[in-house]
């Protein structure tokens, strides 16, 4: 079956009516409202609408016109300088655009083939573990929560694809990485397998005993015990069965150390270091089978793909054993493992790795933080608590299988004593985050959390622009272009003077400029709703001696006030927010940038969410059970992967 059918079936009578409407009403309207920016001369955004002389021209490019529909519907086109559409013009334009033929979705039970691989990357190259995955894997491989200080040792990884550090294209390996992985392997093994176990913590001593589960006899050969220990460790480290020749290579390291008189533990240590610097440990590999084309992903690499999606770490013994037995191909067993893994504490990685990156909160406390002079309360512990609130809240939704709409609005959060002090919540003590019921609608949901307020502020003040942009990009999925290079900064000193022009008034003047209005008309009204929160998320009623004005008027004409009103605005757009969330999580799981071929997964997720009360596990299960997640396109040997 072909992946595409170009256009949906189209009624000839409807075609004639639309063709007449276009020539009689729509094209003249576009001449007045659109051509100044989008003709052969202006070509703003590389879009020339003047070239569509007839309705047949429009039919030939349905994707472009679906984009026009989205822009008009969001009141982004036409801009103010062209004169906004009045109610009758808007309804006429939207009625026409909604009736245009649509591109059919691809077959959801297929991914790329040889014919489509040139424009669709339906598979992911073998990729390196990112820093967080490496640290988590070391933790689970040795079974310890011990801090090996690896975060300071290993280089950080940037985001790619949909914005995550799971993207294979951006996880390059440099000579610096190799040096650091050598140092990390030595640092870890020296602590787990020191020359003498004296002085080891109880946790590390237990890890040593588990690793050296077989010891040589007093008068027997050391090789059999060493081989058994090395083979067992390597199987888990490489997340797959190991071959005799592979164990032989690691045994050479053991024998070299043994020959020079090293102890059994020290000799094992050298072999373990060899296993840890191997590409089989450092990379998530999807070995190519002898056949080509679209094939089910083999059970063993599927186990790793699933565990690094849900846990950001290696498969455990149960999952790996089932994979080696070929049982993950059974949908019922696979689904049961998925459910089991979501209940495991290691699934907290979804909040810590996915949610914080999705919301850009991983930057807080590092490259983004308040000015220490103006906000001395902000320190590393408070930054951890702010990010922890978001991650813990998200993980609570997953663990308890609650509605993802609680990300928009809820009547509870998770706080420790530091956050509770900021929020004015009584009775919360200690450093641990704990469930806290909220008395009113000021907080609750993401927009009530201090981490969001700190992230979306400048170092010395809040910013309706930054907050509005964050809401548009991180929650609603809009893309906002950077500002022009010659835009002057707002006069903050004037805003602080009695009778001076407030930042809100300055922004209103800013939006008079046509080149600024297109973005600021969308961003600023949303950001105003959060002005009651200062840069640390504390509630305030006044700013520079004046009452805080937290009212916003959206391009659609909607007026709301304060965070409670903003939540109602966002709840009315819950499908957009949930669709963006589904897209981001799919990109995180797939480890690559998404495209139109992945819309099936997102559409399936939206259908499943809407019919299952927007429950968190429904989204995760839909992605993990999807055809693209469990299949891979294997190119012909003479066809390059990129």
The alpha carbon of residue 389 and the mean position of all alpha carbons in its chain are separated, in whole angstroms, by 17
CA distance 106 to 540: 51
CA distance 398 to 313: 18
615, β-bridge pairs:
403
Q: With a cut of 50, list the residues of the chain below it in pLDDT.
A: 1-10, 113-115, 117-122, 500, 639-642
Residue-wise pLDDT for 54-86, tens only, equals 888 888 888 888 888 877 877 777 876 666 777
Q: What's the predicted TM-score (pTM) here?
A: 0.85
What confidence score (pLDDT) does residue 97 get?
85
CA distance 569 to 560: 8
DSSP letter, residue 472: I
Token pair recorded at residue 214: 């077989």
What confidence score (pLDDT) does residue 8 get?
40
Largest alpha-carbon pair distance within the chain? 99
Residue-wise pLDDT for 368-389, tens only, equals 999 999 999 999 999 999 999 9
Pairing between β-strand 293-296 and β-strand 412-415 as defined by DSSP bridges: unpaired
Closest of 169, 294, 309, 171 to residue 593, by C-alpha: 169
What confidence score (pLDDT) does residue 96 get?
87
Helices first, then strands: H and E counts in the chain: 30, 10
Closest of 430, 434, 470 to residue 453, by C-alpha: 470
What confidence score (pLDDT) does residue 636 get?
64
Radius of gyration of the chain (CA): 29
Q: What angle do CA 150, 155, 158 make, to 5 degrees?
A: 125
What confidence score (pLDDT) does residue 112 get?
52
């Amino acid at each position: 079956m072909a992946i595409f059918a170009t256009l949906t079936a189209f009624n000839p009578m409807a075609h004639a009516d639309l063709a007449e409407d276009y020539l009689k009403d729509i094209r003249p309207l576009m001449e007045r409202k659109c051509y100044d920016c989008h003709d052969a001369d202006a070509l703003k955004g590389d879009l020339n609408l003047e070239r569509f002389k007839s309705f047949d021209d429009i039919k030939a490019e349905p994707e472009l016109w679906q984009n026009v529909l989205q822009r008009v519907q969001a009141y982004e086109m036409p801009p103010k300088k062209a004169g906004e559409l009045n109610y009758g013009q808007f309804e006429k334009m939207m009625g026409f655009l909604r009736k245009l033929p649509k591109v059919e979705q691809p077959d959801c039970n297929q991914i790329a083939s040889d014919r489509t691989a040139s424009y669709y990357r339906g598979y992911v190259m073998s990729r390196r573990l990112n820093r967080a995955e490496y640290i988590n894997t070391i933790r689970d491989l040795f079974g310890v929560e011990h801090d090996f200080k690896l975060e300071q040792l290993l280089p950080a990884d940037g985001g790619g694809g949909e914005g995550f550090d799971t993207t294979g294209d951006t996880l390059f390996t440099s000579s610096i990485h190799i040096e650091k992985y050598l140092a990390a392997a030595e640092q870890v093994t020296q602590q787990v397998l020191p020359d003498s176990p004296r002085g080891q913590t109880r946790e590390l001593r237990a890890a040593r005993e588990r690793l050296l589960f077989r010891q040589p006899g007093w008068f027997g050969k050391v090789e059999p015990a060493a081989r058994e220990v090395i083979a067992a460790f390597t199987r888990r480290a490489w997340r797959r069965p190991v071959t005799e020749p592979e164990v032989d290579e690691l045994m050479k390291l053991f024998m070299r150390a043994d020959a020079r008189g090293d102890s059994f533990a020290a000799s094992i240590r050298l072999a373990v270091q060899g296993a840890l610097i191997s590409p089989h440990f450092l990379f998530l590999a999807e070995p190519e089978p002898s056949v080509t084309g679209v094939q089910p992903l083999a059970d063993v690499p599927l186990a790793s793909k699933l565990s690094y999606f849900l846990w950001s770490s290696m498969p455990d013994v149960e999952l790996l054993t089932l994979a080696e037995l070929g049982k993950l191909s059974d949908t019922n067993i696979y689904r049961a493992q998925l459910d089991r893994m979501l209940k495991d504490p290691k699934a907290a990685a979804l909040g810590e790795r996915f949610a914080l990156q999705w919301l850009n909160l991983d930057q807080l406390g590092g490259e983004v933080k308040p000015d220490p002079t103006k906000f001395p309360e902000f320190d590393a512990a408070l930054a951890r608590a702010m990010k922890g609130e978001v991650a813990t809240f998200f993980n609570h939704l997953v663990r308890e299988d609650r509605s993802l709409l609680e990300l928009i609005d809820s009547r509870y959060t998770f706080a420790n004593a530091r956050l509770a002090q900021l929020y004015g919540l009584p009775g919360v003590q200690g450093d641990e985050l704990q469930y806290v019921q909220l008395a009113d609608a000021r907080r609750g949901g993401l927009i009530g959390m201090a981490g969001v307020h700190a992230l979306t502020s400048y170092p010395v003040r809040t910013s309706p622009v930054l907050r509005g942009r964050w809401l548009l990009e991180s929650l609603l999925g809009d893309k906002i272009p950077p500002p022009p290079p010659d835009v002057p900064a707002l006069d903050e000193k004037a805003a602080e003077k009695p009778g001076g022009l407030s930042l809100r008034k300055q922004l209103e003047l800013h939006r008079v400029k046509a080149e600024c209005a297109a973005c600021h008309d969308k961003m600023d009204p949303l950001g105003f709703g959060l002005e009651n929160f200062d840069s640390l998320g504390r509630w305030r009623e006044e700013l520079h001696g004046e009452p805080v004005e937290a009212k916003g008027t959206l391009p659609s004409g909607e007026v709301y006030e304060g965070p409670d009103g903003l939540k109602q605005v966002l709840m009315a757009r819950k499908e957009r927010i949930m669709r963006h969330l589904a897209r981001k999580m799919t990109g995180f799981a797939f480890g690559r940038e998404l495209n139109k071929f992945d819309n099936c997964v997102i559409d399936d997720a939206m259908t499943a969410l809407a019919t299952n009360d927007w429950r968190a596990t429904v989204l995760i299960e839909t992605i993990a059970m999807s055809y693209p997640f469990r299949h891979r396109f294997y190119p012909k040997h003479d066809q390059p992967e990129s």
